[in-house]
Structure 1
Amino acid sequence: MGQLTRLFVISRIFFMGFLISGMAVAQTSPIEPPSPVSVVADAAPGDYVGQAIQAALAPLSSAFPPLLTSPRHQRVDVNRAVLDFYSHRGYRAAWTDDDDVVQLLKSLSDTGVDGLDPEDFRISELVTARNSMQTTEPTPGQRAAFDISATQTFITALLQLRRGKVDPSRLDIHWNFDPVGIDPREDVNLFFTALDSHDVARAFAQAPPQEAIYGTLRQGLAQLRRVRDSGGWPKIPAGQTLRPGMDDASVAQLRARLVAGGYLTAKMNARSDYDDTVTAAVKKYQAEQYLGADGVAGPATLAALNVPVEARIDQVRVNMERARWLLYKLQGTFVIVDIAGYKVSFYRDGKLIWRSRVQVGKPYRSTPIFQSEITYVTFNPTWTVPPTILVKDMLPKIRNNPGYLNANRIRVIDREGNVLDPLTVDWDNPRGLTLRQDAGSDNSLGQVVIRFPNDYAIYLHDTPHRELFAQSNRATSSGCIRVENPLQLVELLFNDPVRWNSEGIQKQLANGKTENIRLPVKVPVLLAYWTVDLSLDGRVTFKPDVYGYDKPVLRALNLPSERPTLDGRRAAPPSMAVGQNKL
């Protein structure tokens, strides 16, 4: 096969793969429908490459209706963006400057630092096609195929960096983090402006989240890969407990592992004694890993230390993907609950000003991930027992102890609102009953509830079970979020130092009345899930994946990007396709 024939085959296969591909999976955006495609002009006479581009894109023109019918939750497709791009420029080729192509190939290769796979963008095929075009004069059709393919790749990679590859709404039915007010078409326009300005590298530099936390995750990923490439970190023999005062070969391996993780300096490596320095390092590691920080390297601590570095690399990649989903939300004044980290934080003007420990749902009653707005606070709340808790938790206690309800000040209420004597109820077949606990210090919701609209009956609240805050694993609730210092959060939410200072809040509680007080300004609340933390010295640390959410994200992140056919049906990704990437 001659050079020209080979180039033609490569270009046509490469182009057709992109022609029927969309963008890498990202989140749905609630945007207004795009305007009808407005063709500025046909390709100019004599512009044979432009004419070939116009002819190649003609099937896409009929694939998109002149106006999408639903005004919200439309996904802007890369094909649509590419069609608009070329039609508005009279189908002129965009990649005529080889320096732009060089920038594109370099930037695609660099997506690995963001935890993405450059080969998911079929960089090898782009390189092959470019090299062939440099050695053999291509036809206009071949130039057109390369140009469209490069544009598809350009926008696909940038949108994955900007919004993420994986569509979180496909993994979690509760997901509602729509980027209200952020039109993805604005991103696309910025990308194409950079291309017209021959500043492709800048577009790639500005596409990922610009927040410091994302940069630290990048650095942590690079460091872990260096550890992997040097052979990984030392493994400590399992099935034992290493304690302060020991002098053993296993302690030497423990030291080496702590050095590799940045908990001991390298000069501490060549010893085998478990001294105070090792004890302090183990305590630090345990605290960051959400283990009991006792300084003893028992089975749980050794198991965490022996997690392969490859698994930790994947854990960082998963959380970088979550960062691409969510970091745009972390602006202004907001409350964020870190479910896997068992903590709640309050930010004002983008700055952290308060943090407290929380208890979240048990794994089989997991706290959902979603966003809402805090609208009001309930002081001295009563507690209406949810049906699930009634059936699974409370009925067995009532049957075993007829005095349980009275002892806990829980009333039995029928459909008409009448209060019943618990001793007159058939607890083997209770129907139409509501159980409600009176307000008071022993109420399951404590003194205060912080409420926000949602479909899951989830809220932030006080609790009488304060002893559980001392546990490292605080997945102990039935789904709601118990806050260790809720009154401090209430004061911050009202942001009224005259009426709702600490003294004013205590006065409100002292009257004993159950009362709902609306906030003067709604405050966004985000319930998020992160399985990494950042230490004060900038090191990436790891949390247990308490709900097992990392695996499906990683699985989706590692899959070749899907692609749809033009009629919307799913097809398996061919070897040359960049994949589906919806925004």
Structure 2
Amino acid sequence: MVQLTRLFVISRVFFMVFLISGAAHGENSSNEGTIAPIIQRDAAADDNVGQAIQAHLSPLTTSFPPLLTAPRHKRVDVSRMVLDFYSHRGYRAAWTNEGDTVQLFASLRATQVDGLNPADFHIDELAASRTLMQADSATPEQRAAFDVAATHTFLTALLQLRRGKVDPSRLDIHWNFDPADVDPREDVNKFFIALDAHDVAGAFAQAPPQEAVYRGLREGLAQLRKVHDVGGWPKVAEGQSLKPGMDDPAVAQLRARLVAGGFLEPRLARGAKYDGAVIAAVKKYQAEQYLGADGVAGATTLAALNVSVDARIDQVRVNMERARWLLYKLQGTFVIVDIAGYKVAMYRDGKPIWRSRVQVGKPFRNTPVFQSEITYVTFNPTWTVPPTILKEDVIPKIQRNPGYLAANHIRVIDREGAVLDPSSVDWSNPRGVSLRQDAGPDSSLGQVVIRFPNDYAIYLHDTPHRELFSKSMRATSSGCIRVENPLQLVELLFNDPVRWDSAGIQKQLAKGKTENIRLPVKVPVLLAYWTVDLSNDGRVTFKPDVYGYDSAVLRGLNLPSKLPILDLLRAGAPAVVLNPK
């Protein structure tokens, strides 16, 4: 109860401080090159260490725009927050409690369980500075340097755990998952409250996503590292397909690999016969890897089996980073498309209520990653052929087969909307025309389109190409998402069992009229990209990186963090400036 009371008091103080700050910024809004301290102080801090801390940080007071007028959706600038933190407390040292620093070092080392690299945080240098700072001969500048470096490291590590190390907007200029109504500075305040409450370890425990899927990835990462520590998985000889009925030394290697991966019982490890148990295990592995589950260990299956455990560890790390970017979004009612997993799901109150297979864009016409809101549904849609598909796909077909347009119920439309005779168009250089396919069961969009605003002309829709849903790899569209059971999703989106039940939807379709019907409530939709899954028994399983996105995220994860610790820890350099970038 004492602890809770303390946290409540601290929270109230921080809240009042922000109110005071807002008023101060309102009075000084014309001075956009400075940051007004949250608590205005005309005099320097009383103690020498505080004066040294202020000397460290004073050059930053002209480096940033006013804190509370900065865009709320931008990623936190750690240096600015460090400056603001010390100005809150009149530049008093924050790391004077021995237990706090012990918790800090232990927590920094433990970031590896979340796929981060503890070496990023220069723990050894920070520990050496702490030892120096504890000596009787330590100068105020050395004490101040350790204090500011510890705070900067503390905040950097927690923000990486909370929202990710890699900035996704630098990997994808169209990234739009950072909502304006989520202010990351609220997280920062919680971290500093935990520090004042001497609960550094608690801050680290609460920083990562708390969802079960994240815990599953963390446990999977730990299991993979155990495999790494004993030398990795057994290799299987490549060069020939391993098939049912074979008796071959390579089958013995395959058995060992399947046992190591948890697909075959350990008691079946011995032997070189490709029997029923091996067939079943190979099929299970293939299904989880999005490979054709035929029970034959061909070239593609063997290559997947021989991917090193180090590579799989990195794949899990990459997807834990994506989880830190996105899991906070998965609340309430929403639709999420798993692009690399070729599936879509709808959630209500945070729980899945419907799933379906999808087809997504080919690698050279990939489905983009973004978020939007589903606003309306088009029944019996017509399809206007997009320019890229027109140029690269349809015109070559017309040139080869003049009857193509009629066979596919496609009309040629001029700029005024008039229908043209296809024979009047020069198809070697068509200008000022568009192609529109009539509504109907054989239309490229099928019976229904689920629409949401975006800059890519992307939507969810029905399709006549239903045979492709049986394939394991379903990157087969030109960018839009083809849904196997779209009418079921439409019924759930309307959520109106009186008018828009299954019978009501069929009645609407039977009209044969192209009509847009708005949803009574907009439903968020997220198009996301994950290259791992969690199986029903909790194992991490792996998908092909169909668009090759993992490598850029991994590079960002492995890139050393730009922390100013080494500069800060130089003895006798009180005016060293934190790198604001």
> Separation in 2 of the partners of 1:463 and 1:281?
34
Question: Does 2:328 match 1:328?
Answer: yes
Counterpart of 2:265 in structure 1 is 265
* Mapped contact 2:145–2:569 kept (Cα < 8 A): no
> Separation in 1 of the partners of 2:234 and 2:104?
39
> Residue by residue, what CA displacement relative to the aligned partner does 1:194-241 show, whole Å, maximum 9, x if unpaired?
000000000000000000111110111111111111001000000111
Counterpart of 1:464 in structure 2 is 464
* Mapped contact 2:49–2:92 kept (Cα < 8 A): yes
> Residue by residue, what CA displacement relative to the aligned partner does 1:385-429 show, whole Å, maximum 9, x if unpaired?
000000000001111111111111100010111101111111111
> Separation in 1 of the partners of 2:526 and 2:567?
35
SS in 2 for 1:413: strand
Consecutive unaligned residues of structure 1, counting only runs of 5 or more, are: 1-32, 565-571
> Separation in 2 of the partners of 1:75 and 1:553?
17
The two structures have a TM-score, normalised by structure 1, of 0.90
Once the two structures are TM-superposed, the CA of residue 133 in structure 1 deviates from its matched residue by 3.0
* Mapped contact 1:121–1:578 kept (Cα < 8 A): no
> Separation in 2 of the partners of 1:196 and 1:465?
60
Cα RMSD (Å):
2.3
Once the two structures are TM-superposed, the CA of residue 38 in structure 1 deviates from its matched residue by 2.2
* Mapped contact 1:561–1:579 kept (Cα < 8 A): no
Partner letter of residue 546 of structure 1?
Answer: V
Q: Aligned in 2, Cα 1:290/1:229: closer, same or farther, shift over 3 Å?
A: same
Counterpart of 1:13 in structure 2 is none
Once the two structures are TM-superposed, the CA of residue 44 in structure 1 deviates from its matched residue by 7.4
Once the two structures are TM-superposed, the CA of residue 69 in structure 1 deviates from its matched residue by 6.0
Counterpart of 1:131 in structure 2 is 131
Question: Does 2:467 match 1:455?
Answer: no
* Mapped contact 2:113–2:218 kept (Cα < 8 A): yes
Counterpart of 2:499 in structure 1 is 499
Once the two structures are TM-superposed, the CA of residue 35 in structure 1 deviates from its matched residue by 8.0
* Mapped contact 1:560–1:573 kept (Cα < 8 A): no
Once the two structures are TM-superposed, the CA of residue 60 in structure 1 deviates from its matched residue by 1.3
Once the two structures are TM-superposed, the CA of residue 509 in structure 1 deviates from its matched residue by 0.2
Counterpart of 2:539 in structure 1 is 539
Partner letter of residue 510 of structure 1?
Answer: A
Q: Aligned in 2, Cα 1:578/1:237: closer, same or farther, shift over 3 Å?
A: farther
> Separation in 1 of the partners of 2:276 and 2:378?
48
The two structures have a TM-score, normalised by structure 2, of 0.90
Counterpart of 2:274 in structure 1 is 274
Identity over aligned residues, as a percent? 76
* Mapped contact 1:359–1:475 kept (Cα < 8 A): yes
> Separation in 2 of the partners of 1:153 and 1:273?
56
Give the alignment of 1:107-122 within 5 angstroms.
Answer: 107-122=107-122
Once the two structures are TM-superposed, the CA of residue 81 in structure 1 deviates from its matched residue by 1.0
> Separation in 2 of the partners of 1:294 and 1:443?
32
Counterpart of 1:199 in structure 2 is 199
> Separation in 2 of the partners of 1:392 and 1:345?
32
Once the two structures are TM-superposed, the CA of residue 574 in structure 1 deviates from its matched residue by 11
Once the two structures are TM-superposed, the CA of residue 76 in structure 1 deviates from its matched residue by 3.1
Give the alignment of 1:161-560 within 5 angstroms.
Answer: 161-560=161-560
* Mapped contact 1:217–1:540 kept (Cα < 8 A): yes
SS in 2 for 1:525: strand
Q: Aligned in 2, Cα 1:581/1:343: closer, same or farther, shift over 3 Å?
A: farther
> Separation in 2 of the partners of 1:481 and 1:65?
42
Q: Aligned in 2, Cα 1:98/1:474: closer, same or farther, shift over 3 Å?
A: same
Once the two structures are TM-superposed, the CA of residue 290 in structure 1 deviates from its matched residue by 0.5
Once the two structures are TM-superposed, the CA of residue 278 in structure 1 deviates from its matched residue by 1.4
Counterpart of 1:10 in structure 2 is none
Counterpart of 1:7 in structure 2 is none
The number of residue pairs the alignment matches comes to: 544
Q: Aligned in 2, Cα 1:429/1:286: closer, same or farther, shift over 3 Å?
A: same
> Separation in 2 of the partners of 1:551 and 1:319?
11
Once the two structures are TM-superposed, the CA of residue 141 in structure 1 deviates from its matched residue by 1.4
Give the alignment of 1:35-54 within 5 angstroms.
Answer: 36-41=36-41, 46-54=46-54
> Separation in 2 of the partners of 1:483 and 1:515?
20
SS in 2 for 1:524: strand
Q: Aligned in 2, Cα 1:185/1:416: closer, same or farther, shift over 3 Å?
A: same
SS in 2 for 1:503: helix
Counterpart of 1:30 in structure 2 is none
Instruction: Report 1 or 2 for greater relative contact order, CA contacts < 8 Å, sequence distance ≥ 6.
Output: 1
> Separation in 1 of the partners of 2:549 and 2:522?
30
* Mapped contact 1:560–1:579 kept (Cα < 8 A): no
> Residue by residue, what CA displacement relative to the aligned partner does 1:28-78 show, whole Å, maximum 9, x if unpaired?
xxxxx9984323546777522112212221111122244676655544311
* Mapped contact 1:160–1:581 kept (Cα < 8 A): no
Once the two structures are TM-superposed, the CA of residue 135 in structure 1 deviates from its matched residue by 4.6
SS in 2 for 1:355: strand
> Separation in 2 of the partners of 1:136 and 1:116?
35
* Mapped contact 2:366–2:479 kept (Cα < 8 A): yes
* Mapped contact 1:383–1:436 kept (Cα < 8 A): yes
SS in 2 for 1:112: helix
